[in-house]
Structure 1
Amino acid sequence: MSDRSIALITGANKGIGRGAAEQLAALGMTVLLGVRDPRRGEETAAVLREAGGDVHAVTLDVTDQAVIRAAAQWIEERFGRLDVLINNAAITGSGQVSPQDAVDQVPSTVDLDMVRAVFETNVFGVIAVTNAMLPLLRRSSAPRIVNVSSHAASLTVNSDPDGPLAALPSSAAYSPSKTALNALTVQYANELRKDGILVNAIAPGYVATDSNNHTGFLTVAQGAAVLVRVATAGADWPTAGFFAAEGPVPW
Structure 2
Amino acid sequence: MFCATKHLSTNNTVVGTQFHNFPEVPIPIVADMSSDFLSKVIDPSPCACIYAHAQKNVGLSGVTAVVIRKSILENSPDDLPELLDYRTHIERKSNYHTPPCFSIYMMWHILRWIEEDIGGVEAMEKINRQKSSALYDFIDATPLFDCPVDLGSRSRMNVVFTLPTKSLEEQFIQKAFASGLVGVAGHRTKGGYRVSLYNAVTLDAVKNLIEFMDKFAQKTNYQKSA
TM-score (norm 1): 0.27
Q: TM-score when scaled to structure 2?
A: 0.30
Larger relative helix fraction: 1
